[in-house]
Amino acid sequence: MSTTAAAPLSGLRVIDLTRLLPGPAVTMHLADFGAEVIKVEDTGDGDYLRGFPPQVATGDGASANPSFVALNRGKKSLCLNLKDADARDALLHLVERSDALIESFRPGVLARLGLGWDVLHARNPRLVLCSLSGYGQHGPLAQAAGHDINYIALAGVLDQIRAQGRPAIPNLQLGDVLGGTLSALSTLLIALLGAQRHGQGRWVDVAMTDGLLAHHVFPLAELDAGVAPVAGDTLLTGGVACYGVYETADGRHLAVGALEAKFWQTFCAVIDRPDLASRHWTAGEAPGSAAARDTVETVAAIIRAQPRAHWEQRFAAVDCCVTPVLTPAEALAHPQSAARGIVHRDAGATWIGPLAAMRGDGGSHRVGPARAVAVGAHTRELLQAAGVGAEAIDALIARGAARG
């Protein structure tokens, strides 16, 4: 992590009580841009993601899941048992000196720990509290457990991702990272900007299911138009030939995104079928219609006749939104990824960052290598800086209410 004054979020302090993927990914992005992120784990299991398989050596004599290493890069570690009154008081000392706190407990847990919004706001009126959960702080499902598959199912997203006529589970956690991470990141930063401008913190209630619904733009628009979207029959799910995935002769695939008529015309020229140029949705070939399905099958047969490398070579010289379907390993090795300089490997983990390039003053912001967060590595340092006495810290550690 860059700690220079040039880092956009230098001087911002964030307390992170989250685990697993969505919350740690929020603070990963903040740390990448210079924020001081204090990862707080309990004295028991801590962040469950540490122990998930597979495991890699972290360079400190321990091991961890590579995802944990990547998500928690550049953070400081504080280990406290928040069920202990003195440990909670120590955390509140940090709250007084922080800008934001993010948590992902079930609704009500933070308050039962004696760390609810009223308590936090009283200790630091400028603090932004971000509560990240599956279904939000209220509603009939507020207390229900869930994972990514449940959130995308309830938001109507899983229904729109299909293979062989059945819902297909994507290996990109859309509920966690779109509904959760990016929704929380944006609203947290908005609230921090408001606190900076007006001097008042806010409690931000982020529900992953809400975030998915808010971004499910096209299916909701189809409902407004009186059309129930059926995956495979709509414009963006394979209902037209110009926008779909086609198998090649070697069992690989091409992604065709020739959505505009000009791109479709070029596509048809490359596959030596200019006669298909008029068979486009803008010319009246309705998505999901018998005519559209016939065009899809015609194009599929053409693409299936040659291996992927053949089509890559033919489409390389033209601009019509056709790309190979890459494996994750191929994506990491692709020249575009290399040119962007976003792929990093350190401490046994591959990680991508920063979220976006930031340029100015003759240079661009870069992030440093990933480092696994050793449990409690910064407990003494952080508590001492927050005004907790050395004897009090020793007492916390001695009775197992802290670790460091």
Active site residues: 147, 176
Alpha carbons 50 and 66: distance in angstroms, whole number: 9
Nearest by Cα to 120 from 105, 100, 137: 100
φ, ψ for residue 398, nearest 5 deg: -60, -40
CA atoms lying within 13 Å on the CB side of residue 395: 10
Alpha carbons 46 and 402: distance in angstroms, whole number: 12
Alpha carbons 62 and 55: distance in angstroms, whole number: 10
Place of tokens 């779109």: 178
Q: Is residue 94 within a helix (H) or strand (E), and if so which, with residue range?
A: helix 85-95
- Per-residue tokens: 98: 């922080």
Strand partners, 37: 14
Strand partners, 207: 133
Instruction: Find how far residue 84's CA is from the centre of its chain.
Output: 32
Nearest by Cα to 50 from 21, 16, 14, 83: 21
Place of tokens 């990240």: 132
Q: What stretches of 141-260 show up as alpha helix (H) in DSSP? A: 148-154, 174, 183-198, 208-215, 217-224
Q: Residue 83 carries which side chain, given as an amino acid letter?
A: K
Residues 32 and 69: beta-carbon distance below 8 Å: no
DSSP 303-324: HTTS-HHHHHHHHTTS-SSEEE
326-358 b/e (C-beta count within 10 Å ≥ 16 → b): eeeeeeeeeeeeeeeebebebbbbbbebbbeee
